[in-house]
């Protein structure tokens, strides 16, 4: 599989042809580049089962107003709401995964927010041999249901 190329941290990576074809076959359109980040130790920890997407690293908004409102609400008495999205992995395997927004208070009294991909993340990480400090690119494309892809 060809790798995504991204010459600078602010450039949008080139979408591999095989992934473009997969997106097209799923009826997808309007691909939005979301983030490029190095995987942290916690992202590849089998004990944590999540990929963090810090809000301050997101290249551009990717949620509809309705999705944003949903993730900002508390779902059915839970600590935070989530929404299921379909994930296309670097291996092209498809997996259902949950997207959540976590708001965390700091000792200083300020708060910070991040999106996280949870539920089945450990399987995704293992299937794709993801390692700490590797670059991970993520994008979202429009279709029904919502899809996320990892490069």
Cα angle: 76, vertex 77, 82; to 5 degrees: 55
Residue 148, both tokens: 């996320």
Cis peptide before 145 (omega within 30 of 0): yes
Tell me the pLDDT tens digit for each residue of 4-16. 433 344 566 677 7
3-state secondary structure of 90: coil
Say whether pLDDT at 132 is over 90.
yes
Segments in 26-147 forming alpha helices (H):
65-72, 121-127
- The structure tokens 């839970």 sit at 78
Tell me the pLDDT tens digit for each residue of 40-71. 999 999 889 999 888 888 877 778 888 888 88
Tell me the pLDDT tens digit for each residue of 69-90. 888 886 555 677 888 888 888 8
Tell me the pLDDT tens digit for each residue of 90-130. 888 888 888 898 887 778 878 888 889 888 889 989 999 99
For the chain, first and last CA: distance in Å?
Answer: 10
CB atoms within 10 A of CB 52: 18
Find out whether 133 and 120 touch, Cβ atoms under 8 Å.
Answer: no
Cα–Cα distance, 20 to 48 (Å, whole number): 31
How sure is the predictor about 133, in pLDDT bands with cuts at 50, 70 and 90? very high
- The structure tokens 């708001």 sit at 103
Find out whether 58 and 82 touch, Cβ atoms under 8 Å.
Answer: no
Q: Residue 121: which residues within 8 A CB-CB, separation 6 or more?
A: 49, 50, 51, 97
pLDDT of 139 reads 74
pTM: 0.77
């Amino acid at each position: 599989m060809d790798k995504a190329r991204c010459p600078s941290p602010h450039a949008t990576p080139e979408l591999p042809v095989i992934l473009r074809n997969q997106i097209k076959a799923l009826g997808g359109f309007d691909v939005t580049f979301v983030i490029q980040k190095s995987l942290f130790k916690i992202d590849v920890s089998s004990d944590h089962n999540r990929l963090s997407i810090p809000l301050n690293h997101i290249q551009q908004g990717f949620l509809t107003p309705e999705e944003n409102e949903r993730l900002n609400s508390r779902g059915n008495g839970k600590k935070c709401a989530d929404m299921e999205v379909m994930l296309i992995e670097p291996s092209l395997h498809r997996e259902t995964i949950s997207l959540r927004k976590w708001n965390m208070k700091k000792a200083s009294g300020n708060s910070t927010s991040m999106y996280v991909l949870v539920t089945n993340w450990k399987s995704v990480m293992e299937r794709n041999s993801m390692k700490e400090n590797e670059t991970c690119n993520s994008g979202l494309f429009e279709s029904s249901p919502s899809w996320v892809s990892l490069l």
